[in-house]
Amino acid sequence: MRKLALPDEILLQIDKPARYIGGEKNSVMKDKSLIDVRFVMCFPDLYEIGMSHLGIQILYDMFNSFEDTWCERVYSPGTDLDAIMREREIPLFALESQDPVKSFDFLGITLQYEMCYTNILQILDLSKIPFDAGKRTWDDPIVIGGGPCSYNPEPIAKFFDLFYIGEGETRYRELLDLYKKDRAAGVSREEFLHHAGQLPGIYAPSLYNVKYKENGLIESFHPIFDDVPKTVRKEVVEDLSKTYYPTRPVLPFIKATQDRLVLEIMRGCIRGCRFCQAGQLYRPIRERSLEVLKQYAKELIANTGHEEICLSSLSSSDYSHLQELLLFLIDECDANKINISLPSLRIDQFSLDVMNKVQDVKKTSLTFAPEAGTQRLRNVINKGLTEDDILSGSKMAFEGGWNKVKLYFMLGLPTETEEDIKGIGKLCNEIAKVYFDTVPKEKRNGQKIQITASTSFFIPKPFTAFQWAPMNTQEEFREKAYQTRCGILETLNQRSIKYNWHDTDVSVLEGVFARGDRKIAEVIEKAYEKGCIFDAWNETFHYDKWLESFDECGLSIDFYTTRTREDDEVFPWDFIDIGVTKAFLLREWKNALNEKVTANCRAQCQGCGAASYGVGFYCPGGK
C-alpha cells in the first residue's frame, strides 16, 4: 500500500490537495526492486500548468518504456504548501512513489519560461539539494535541464549538472547507460559528468570556462579538457513517425490549464519570423505521417476521457496533409462527441470552412497575430502577413457568422516608429469597418463587432535575427502602450475595440534572463533568498526585490537589455549549434534593418544551415 508523503491534516488545509497525491489514471507504478535508474521529471510551476506540457508527457512515456528505468513527476508546491513544508521540514517528494526527490538518480527540470527560474531554486531547496552543482555528492541526484530556455543555459548554469540540448527522444538512453556503467565502476561524480559531457547534445557547465573582458563582454568560452567538444550540437529526431508518443497520457485529478488531448502533427515552421525563437530552434521542418496521426488519435480517444483534441504545431496550416487529417478527425470526433481545436491556422477560405464544421453554432473568436501595425514593420519582422490578408480573412469570417476578433501585436520591435504604433488602432478600425460593410444591419441579430487588441513587449531572444537588437526600457514600453491606447481612442469605431497590454516589469526581467550570462545566477539566488518565487504570476511578483538583488550584485539591467550588440560580439550561447548558423541570422538582421522580406522555406530555401541534419521537409536532400 502506497503511503502518502502528506498526512490528511495537511491535505485538508491546503488548496487543491489533488496536486500532491499522485495515483492518476495512466500514471506508471513500478517495482523499485527491479529498477536500476530512478528519474523524476519536474515542471517548475503548479501541477495544473505542468500537466499541460506535452514535452514532459513524451519523456515520461519514453523513460517508462525502458524496463530498467522508472520515471516519476514533481511540480512546484503552491505557496500554501511551500510554507508548511518548510515549517515542518517535509522534503519535496515525487507523485508516484511519494519518495523524496533527493533519493532519485536524476532530477530532470523542464525549462519552458525564464520567469520560472526562482522556482528551480524552490525545487532544489525543498529537496535539500545544494544550489551550487559543484557542492553536490553522489547523495544528490544529477540535475539536468532541457527545453527552450536551455538554448541559453548560462544564467542558471550554476544550478545544473547537465543540460540536454535539443529533442529528448534521441540521447537519453545513452546517458542512462553511461550512468549505470559509471556507478558500477565506482567513478566519482566529477568523472561521470566529464564522461557525460562527451555525449552528443549534452552540456556539462563545469567542463567549460568563461573569460570576460574589462567591459563585461565575453572574451572567450572554451572547454577545460581536450576531449570535451567546443560546441554542443542540438539533437534532432529524424523521423517523427518512428519515435515515442504518449497515447496513454496521465489524466489529472483536477482541471489542467489545457484540459485536452494533444496531437503533435509537425515540428518546425516555414515562416521565418525574425522575432520568433521557436521557429529557428525547431528547424528543420518535419512532419508526422497521416496514417500515424490517425492511429494516435484513435488511441488517445480510447485511452482518455477528454472532450477536446488539439492539433499541435507552430503553424498547423502548413502541414501538408491537413485537409485529409481534419476530414478524418471530424468523423472520428463527431462519433465520440469530441471537439477539435485548431490553433495556428492561417485564416483563409479552407480554414473557415473547416471551423464551420468543427465549431458549435455559437462562434468563438478568430485570432490573428499581425504583430505590427503597419506593413513596413511587418516586413521588418518578416511576418509574411499583409493587411489585405487580414482584412480579406476578416471579411470571410464575418460572412461565415463570426463577430469576434482577437489581434496580437508587439510593441518595441526594432525600427518601430510612432506611425507603426498608431497603425495598431488604424488596423483595428479597418477590421471594424469591414464588419459593418459586410454584414447588413438586419443580419446582425443585435450583435456588435468585438475586437480585442492585445500588445506584449518585444523581447530579443537567442538564436533569432533580433538577438543583436536593443530592448526598450520600461518607460519606453509604458509610453508606447499609452500611445497605442490613444491611437485606438482616436478611431471612429473605438467602442468596438478593447485594448489589453502586458506588464513591463516582468518583460524587462525576461529580457535579462533571455540573453544573460553566468553572472546572472548570483542575482537569481539573491532574489530567491529575498522571497521571490512564482515570478510569472502577478500576485507573487516583487520587482522591487529584483532591483535590490541586481544592485547588491553590482550588475546593470541595462547591460543585458538596452544596448545594441556588435556584429562580432561573443554571445553566452554561441557554443551551442542549432543547425541554423549565426551567419544566416546576422544576414537576416541586416535584411530586417533594410526592410527586406525573406521568402519562406516552402517558396525558396534560404540556406539557414538546418539542412546539415540531412532531414527536413523543405531542405535540399531532406526527407
Q: Which residues contact 475 (CB under 8 A, 6 or more apart)?
A: none
pLDDT digits (tens, 9 = 90+) for 548-603: 999 999 999 999 999 999 999 999 999 999 999 999 999 999 999 999 999 999 99
Question: Taking the mean position of all CA atoms in its chain, how far away is CA 404?
Answer: 27
Listed range (257-261, 373-377, 484-488, 557-561) with the worst mean pLDDT: 257-261
Distance (Å, whole) CA 60 – CA 77: 20
What cell numbers appear for 389 in the block?
490578408
Q: Does residue 501 contact residue 421 with C-beta atoms inside 8 Å?
A: no
| pLDDT for residue 361 | 40
| Residues 273/274/280/282 CA torsion (nearest 10 deg) | -30
What cell numbers appear for 309 in the block?
483534441
Half-sphere exposure of 384 (CA within 13 A, CB side): 16
Alpha helix segments (H runs only) across 144-266? 172-185, 189-196
Listed range (66-70, 105-109, 448-452, 469-473) with the worst mean pLDDT: 448-452
| pLDDT for residue 446 | 79
CATH architecture of structural domain 8-233: 3-Layer(aba) Sandwich (3.40)
Tell me, yes or no, if the two domains 8-233 and 260-359+576-623 fold the same way: no
Q: Which helix (H) or strand (E) holds 107?
A: strand 106-110
What cell numbers appear for 506 in the block?
516582468
Q: Where are the domains of the chain?
A: 8-233, 260-359+576-623
| pLDDT for residue 94 | 98
The pLDDT of residue 419 is above 60: yes
pLDDT band at 397 (very low <50, low <70, confident <90, very high): confident
Mean predicted lDDT score pLDDT of the chain: 94
Half-sphere exposure of 122 (CA within 13 A, CB side): 27
Q: Which residues contact 242 (CB under 8 A, 6 or more apart)?
A: none
How much of the chain, in percent, has pLDDT values that exceed 90? 84
Distance (Å, whole) CA 424 – CA 413: 13
| pLDDT for residue 362 | 47
Q: Look up the pTM and report it.
A: 0.96
Identify which has the larger pLDDT, 537 or 358.
537
What cell numbers appear for 592 in the block?
530586417
Listed range (22-36, 79-93, 182-196, 356-370) with the worst mean pLDDT: 356-370
| pLDDT for residue 623 | 65
The pLDDT of residue 360 is above 60: no
Residue bearing cell 483536477? 254
Q: Does residue 452 contact residue 500 with C-beta atoms inside 8 Å?
A: yes
Distance (Å, whole) CA 138 – CA 372: 52
| pLDDT for residue 148 | 96
Residues facing residue 109 across a β-bridge: 42, 145
Alpha helix segments (H runs only) across 267-366? 278-281, 290-303, 322-335, 349-358
pLDDT band at 259 (very low <50, low <70, confident <90, very high): confident
Q: Looking at residues 269-284, what average pLDDT do you find?
A: 95
Distance (Å, whole) CA 53 – CA 334: 26
Alpha helix segments (H runs only) across 168-288? 172-185, 189-196, 278-281
The angle subtended at Cα 570 by Cα 564 and Cα 571, nearest 5°, is 75
Per-position DSSP letters for 343-354, written without gaps between them: TT---SHHHHHH
Distance (Å, whole) CA 251 – CA 127: 25
What is 260-359+576-623's CATH number, 3.30.750.210, 3.30.1360.20, 3.30.420.40, 3.20.20.140?
3.30.750.210
| pLDDT for residue 283 | 95
Distance (Å, whole) CA 284 – CA 620: 11
Q: What are φ and ψ of residue 616, in 5° steps?
A: 130, 125
Distance (Å, whole) CA 394 – CA 368: 9
How much of the chain, in percent, has pLDDT values that exceed 70? 98
Q: Looking at residues 255-271, what average pLDDT do you find?
A: 92
pLDDT digits (tens, 9 = 90+) for 89-144: 999 999 999 999 999 999 999 999 999 999 999 999 999 999 999 999 999 999 99
Cα–Cα separations (whole angstroms), residue 274 to 256, 423, 590 = 32, 20, 11
pLDDT band at 350 (very low <50, low <70, confident <90, very high): low
Helix (H, G, I), strand (E, B) or coil at 75: strand
What cell numbers appear for 412 in the block?
518595441
Q: Looking at residues 418-434, what average pLDDT do you find?
A: 97
The angle subtended at Cα 610 by Cα 604 and Cα 614, nearest 5°, is 100
